[in-house]
Amino acid sequence: MKEINSKISGFYKLPIEERQKIIADQLRLNEDELDLLKKYGYFKPEQLDTMIENVIGSYQLPLGIACNFKINGNDYLIPMVIEEPSVVAAASNAARIARKHGGFQSDKVKSVMISQIQITNLEKMDEAEKKILSNKQKILEIANQQDPLLIKLGGGAIDIEIRKFNTNFGNMLIVHLLVDVLDAMGANVVNTMAEALTCYLEDLTNGKILLRIVSNLATHRLARSTATFDKELLGGDEVVDAILNAYEFARVDPYRAATHNKGIMNGIIALTLATGNDTRAIESGAHAYASLKGQYSPLTIYHKDENGNLVGEIELPLALGIIGGMTKIHPMAKLALKILNTRDTEELCQVTAALGLAQNLAALRALASEGIQKGHMALHSRNIAKLAGVPDHLVEEVANILVKDKKIRIDYAKEILEKLNDKNSP
Ligand code: MEV
């Protein structure tokens, strides 16, 4: 057992190479491992060092392209960053099936974010509420002074909402400041606006303000997309009914709905990550929205049209941006946005929602017919073959045998490799 000391004083102040050395010493990393830490890819080490704290390296994932997508009449090549095999292929396949009936139709998406301001210590909540509502214009004015550029471009604080709670800490009045953040994800701007309102709202209400922070449950930023999936291309009436049955399972059972929505997020997060957006914000918003009606529910719905085709629809909050955050700093995120070729954040959200729907349909179709493992395992078997040390030129052959014999295991891959080597040796 190696002795680890995690209390490293001033670690954040050290140059990257020294941090690497400390970790390498403590963990007794070998030359190759240390070299791997020094492979920064398309980043300069200084760039990484300013992105987060205590950097010791950079971490890569595959970037793939989902094909066949037609959304609101336009074709898209969708960049996806994900480690899981089959996801990109599944999305492309579902998009191909949707194409026959015109592809996906995605609604307009507003870029309105919510900032929450928590007012406590209020003796009379109703009175405070009245005062806030009658001074709405002043509140919006103070908020809008914080970002003149946003106002110039047509965005800014547009409205307020009030929510009231009785809590274990007494009454709590929450002001929602609604801000049109245009092409940004918007957390920074709405947080700044909310903080700037502290003194004014405390004076107005005689209360004490505590938290001022964006809500990731962005219910004013809902993205919706729908598509008709062709009955024949899906595999016929039986498959359509099986998918509807699978959907019903998710509708009634949160244990299934969680996995159903995980499949949706496979697509949505892959594009969110590719474009340098905040994946955690999108995840938390999606799952909170899924539980908003009391029971955790699927983010998609399905029904059959008059011709027996399957119609799917997705709705979820999508707080994405094409400016700010990582989107313009990360070289590959910039390139991914270029590949996606969307003109603004609204279009990015429309594509993302369609991708989520495609991903869900593909998973339901596989689960309700042949099962998910077949496709998964074909790809997985190649990874297993590589892990077993199979040389590149034999990977395909060994992987096929693993799948055929239904034994996708490293030990079996080694056994097959030995047999192949014996057979090929003179
Ligand atoms: C796997 O990453 C995603 C699925 O489990 C989704 C689902 O079950 O709907 C296949």
Q: Distance, CA 357 to ligand 1 centroid (Å)?
A: 13
> Ligand 1 in contact with 365 (CB < 6 A)?
no
> Ligand 1 in contact with 86 (CB < 6 A)?
no
> Ligand 1 in contact with 367 (CB < 6 A)?
yes
Evaluate whether 149 touches 224 at the Cβ level (below 8 Å). no
Q: Distance, CA 396 to ligand 1 centroid (Å)?
A: 26
> Ligand 1 in contact with 363 (CB < 6 A)?
yes
Q: Distance, CA 137 to ligand 1 centroid (Å)?
A: 47
Among residues 116, 114, 204, the alpha carbon closest in space to that of 157 is found at 114
Among residues 37, 43, 41, 39, the alpha carbon closest in space to that of 56 is found at 37
CA–CA dist 63, 332 (Å, integer): 9
> Ligand 1 in contact with 373 (CB < 6 A)?
no
Evaluate whether 230 touches 324 at the Cβ level (below 8 Å). no
Q: Distance, CA 351 to ligand 1 centroid (Å)?
A: 20
> Ligand 1 in contact with 372 (CB < 6 A)?
yes
What's the average pLDDT block by block, 10 residues per block, for the chain (426 residues)? 86 97 96 97 94 96 98 98 96 97 97 98 96 98 97 97 96 98 94 97 97 98 98 95 97 98 98 97 98 97 98 98 86 96 96 98 92 68 92 92 90 94 80
Whose tokens are 């060994």? That residue is: 398
In this predicted structure, what is the pLDDT of residue 373? 59
Question: Tokens in use for 97?
Answer: 């099936």
Instruction: Give bridge partners of residue 74 from the DSSP assignment.
Output: 71
Instruction: Give bridge partners of residue 75 from the DSSP assignment.
Output: 70
Q: Distance, CA 300 to ligand 1 centroid (Å)?
A: 14
Q: Distance, CA 331 to ligand 1 centroid (Å)?
A: 30
Longest dimension (CA), the chain: 93
Question: Tokens in use for 156?
Answer: 């800014």
> Ligand 1 in contact with 164 (CB < 6 A)?
no
Cα distances (angstroms) measured from residue 245 to each of 81, 93, 289, 298, 359: 31, 21, 23, 13, 17
In this predicted structure, what is the pLDDT of residue 386? 92
Q: What is the pTM of this model?
A: 0.89
Q: Distance, CA 130 to ligand 1 centroid (Å)?
A: 48
- What is the atom index within ligand 1 of the atom nearest the CA of 256? 8
SS3 310: strand
| Best mutation site among 367, 370, 376, 379 for ligand 1 pocket (most ligand atoms within 8 Å of CB) | 367
Amino acid at 62: P
Among residues 48, 71, 73, the alpha carbon closest in space to that of 58 is found at 48
Residue nearest atom 6 of ligand 1, based on CA coordinates:
263
CA–CA dist 368, 244 (Å, integer): 9
Catalytically active residues are 84, 262, 278, 376
| Best mutation site among 245, 260, 299, 361 for ligand 1 pocket (most ligand atoms within 8 Å of CB) | 260
Residue nearest atom 1 of ligand 1, based on CA coordinates:
263
> Ligand 1 in contact with 269 (CB < 6 A)?
no
> Ligand 1 in contact with 259 (CB < 6 A)?
yes
Residue nearest atom 9 of ligand 1, based on CA coordinates:
260
- What is the atom index within ligand 1 of the atom nearest the CA of 264? 6
